[in-house]
Structures are given as C-alpha cells and as structure tokens.
C-alpha cells in the first residue's frame, strides 16, 4: 500500500484518535518521503516535444524549403482547422493572444468613448487590450467558486453605468473552464451588447456542448508556449461568427491593408508566422487527447486529495478543490486549489522541488499601472480573496501518477 493509501486507511479508522494518528503519520513519514523524492516540474515542454518531434521537424523543414515565412499556406490551413475545431465559421491567425483581444475589439468598432465590462481577476492583457482600443474598462467581481466573471456583478455594473456607452462584456474562461454563458447570453440580449470571449486559456473547452470560440460574437485565443495548444513562441487566434468582423480583422492585422500597399486604416502588424502555424497544426491534431488527459489528471488529483482527507468546503477547514460547472467541459489549463497559508505552502513545495504558480497574485484593479481606473482595495472582495489563496499545481498530459502522488503527499505533510 502506498503512503496515501495508508493515510486513507488511518483516516477511515475514525474518531479523535484516528485523526491524531493520521497527523502523526503524515508529519513523520511523509515529510521524509517528500524530501527524498524526484522533482516535479510545473511544466515540462520536453515531454510533449518527444512525442511529436519528427512531425514538427518535418513541418518546419517544409516551411524552410518553401521560404514563405509570413502568412504562408500553413497559416490558412491552420485557420481552417482551428475554425472547424471551434465550430466557428471564421478564424484569423495573429501574433499573440494579446493582439487577438485587441483585434476582436477593434474589428467590432470598440474605441474611445466606449466601455467594456470585464473581470479584475485575469492576466493583464484582458484589461490592457481594452485600453489599447481607447475604451474604458469597467470591472465586475468574480464568482468565488469558478473564479470566472460573475453575471450578477456584471448586471450591477450595467445598472450603475448611466452616462457610459457600454458596448461589450468580456468574460474570461479562466483556467480552462467556460464562464456562465447562459447568463451572459441573457445579459447580451437584454442590454443589446456584444459578447467577446477571452478564451486564451480555453481552446477545446465547451459550454453546453458548444466550443469556446463559437460562444461569443468574437473570441480570442493565446498560443503562448504554456497553453494547452501552444506555439514555439508567441501566437494567437481570433474567431468570429461574422463575415464583416472577419474581413476587418484580417485588414487590421496587416497594417490596415486590403490590397498590398493600399492602407484603408492604420492597423497593426500582427500576422501569424508560418513556422508557428505549422507547429500549431500538428499540435491541434493531438489536442483532444491531450485535453482529455488533463481532465484525467485533474480527476486523479481530486481522488488523491480526498483520500488524504485534505478536501474541504472552505479554507478554514482545508483545501478547496476546483469545482466544475455541470454545463461546462473544462480543459484544465490549470489545476487551481484554494489553500490556507498559501504562500508558506508554496515555499514548502519549492524547497522540495515541486513546481507551483500563483495565477494571479494581484488583481488588476490594484496594479500600479491601472491606478487611473479609480478602483481601490476592497472594491472586489472575491477577486482579492482569491488572489490571496489560489495555487496552481502541475498538470499536463505527460504528468505521471507517481508525480501527482508526490505533490499531494507533500501538501498533506505540510498541513499535518
């Protein structure tokens, strides 16, 4: 029987004596195990590459032979396949996920004098892309269970935004789980707004069977190297349901050109290079299996944490595990727990060569560069509480069972 199996047996013995015995066992047995264990990296790119090495090298060689490095045929092939994977009629490759967000809003005509409602608990680009368009971000707090933008909080912002021209809601599918699209679709209809998906972390996720990328009027994806579908550098994608938005985004990504050297607008240089498209096309074929492996890894973490007696309803009693909305099909870009004494736990894991990360330690409304938005500490309590407690643990398709067990044993030892 492994260490966690013995711990579960002790826990099930019940009573105060059982709890004391379990604590003693974890403190003096599991600490020794974790000190002597192999490192568990937060992410290991080499494992994925080993499985697709020849496919990738062959594709890169083909691009080098063709010498079509910018918007070569591989870009159109990837856009076609990505659109099909998202069940969206149009997909436009670009240079990064940040650019995809900007292109989405610019293609929709969002600009100075407009406002966009979004979350303070996300990567910086969610808000900076709104500012880049000249529009005003209006922030609304998150659902403390899913960490996604709260539809109820958005409703409150919309009701209190008299005098502002709110054009869109920008929900983020944080950690790879879709936001509550039923509620946001209702808000869209009642307030006559655009819905734009920040799906940077959610390629392959779905809501009620509809893939991310086909839920909103426009959707933005990132293929940063840490993403589930990742490039060998920066890359992004915009999907849309509108032929008009598709045409405009393609123009804007190439300096506002519809014809070579004829510039209808001042656009941006955000073309997806052919080498990245070639890599992404190969990885896209593997992505459904990889995402399922991530779901399997998440289920195993759940099982191990519950078996160790660590799972709880709140952080005063233990670790809060990720909760999936039954309408959502997540892709577990991250496996994020809420943990008491989070910073001390992370330091403990680092000492034992176990990777972890905090997404995100400071909500956007408290960032120095966004002070001009006028928000203060205490304005978004759910986001601020999450920032103090969330901890992402290693999760990727190639993560081994024994590595997951090492992670959970170390956490159990910390709390023993």
Task: Please count the residues of the chain.
Answer: 416
Tally of CA atoms within 13 A in the half-sphere of 228 that contains its CB: 32
Is 295 strand, coil or helix?
helix
Please pick, among 164, 167, 188, 227, the residue that the annotation labels catalytic.
227
Please say if 188 is a catalytic residue: no
Residues facing residue 91 across a β-bridge: 239
Burial class (CB in 10 A: 0-12, 13-18, 19+), 82: buried
163: left (phi over 0), alpha (psi -120 to 50) or beta: left
Beta bridge partners of 238: 92, 220
332: left (phi over 0), alpha (psi -120 to 50) or beta: left
Q: Is 371 exposed, middle or buried (0-12, 13-18, 19+ CB in 10 A)?
A: exposed
CA distance 416 to 412: 6
Helix axes 3-12, 15-25, angle to 10 degrees: 160
Closest listed residue to residue 127, CA positions, set 181, 212, 196: 196
Cα(102)–Cα(238) distance, rounded to whole angstroms?
10
Closest CA to 230 of 397, 357, 64, 101: 397
Backbone φ and ψ of 263, nearest 5°: -105, 110
Helix axes of 151-159 and 181-191: crossing angle, nearest 10 degrees? 20
- Cite the active site residues: 227
């Amino acid at each position: 029987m492994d260490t966690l199996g013995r711990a579960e047996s002790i826990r099930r013995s019940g009573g105060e004596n059982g709890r004391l015995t379990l604590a003693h066992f974890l403190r003096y047995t599991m600490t020794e195990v974790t000190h002597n264990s192999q490192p568990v990296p937060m992410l290991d790119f080499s494992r994925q590459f080993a499985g697709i090495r020849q496919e990738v090298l062959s594709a890169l060689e083909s691009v080098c032979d063709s010498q079509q490095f910018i918007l070569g045929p591989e870009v159109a092939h990837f856009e076609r396949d990505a659109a099909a994977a998202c069940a969206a009629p149009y997909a436009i490759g670009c240079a990064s996920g940040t650019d995809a967000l900007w292109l989405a809003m610019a293609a929709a005509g969002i600009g100075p004098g407009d406002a966009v409602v979004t979350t303070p608990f996300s990567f910086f680009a969610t808000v900076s892309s709104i500012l880049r368009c000249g529009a005003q971000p209006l922030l609304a707090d998150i659902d403390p269970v899913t960490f996604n933008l709260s539809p109820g909080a958005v409703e409150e912002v919309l009701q209190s935004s008299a005098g502002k021209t709110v054009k869109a809601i920008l929900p983020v599918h944080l950690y790879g789980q879709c936001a509550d699209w039923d509620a946001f679709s209702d808000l869209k209809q009642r307030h006559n707004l655009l819905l734009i998906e920040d799906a940077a972390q959610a390629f392959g996720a779905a809501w009620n069977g509809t893939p991310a990328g086909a839920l909103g009027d426009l959707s933005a994806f990132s293929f940063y190297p840490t993403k589930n579908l990742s490039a060998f550098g920066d890359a992004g994608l915009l999907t849309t349901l509108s032929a008009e938005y598709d045409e405009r985004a393609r123009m804007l990504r190439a300096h506002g050109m519809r014809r070579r050297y004829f510039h209808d607008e001042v656009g941006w240089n955000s073309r997806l290079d052919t080498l990245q498209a070639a890599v992404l096309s190969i990885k896209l074929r593997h992505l459904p299996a990889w995402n399922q492996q991530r779901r399997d890894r998440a289920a195993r973490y759940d099982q191990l944490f519950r078996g160790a007696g660590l799972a709880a309803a709140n952080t005063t009693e233990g670790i809060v595990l990720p909760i999936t909305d039954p309408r959502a099909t997540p892709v577990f870009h991250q496996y994020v727990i809420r943990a008491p004494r989070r910073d001390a736990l992370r330091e403990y894991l680092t000492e034992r060569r176990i990777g972890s990360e905090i997404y995100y330690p400071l909500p956007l409304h408290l960032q120095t560069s966004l002070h001009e938005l006028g928000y203060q500490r205490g304005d978004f309590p759910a986001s601020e509480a999450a920032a103090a407690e969330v901890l992402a643990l290693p999760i990727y398709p190639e993560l081994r069972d024994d590595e997951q067990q090492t992670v959970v044993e170390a956490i159990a030892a910390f709390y023993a």
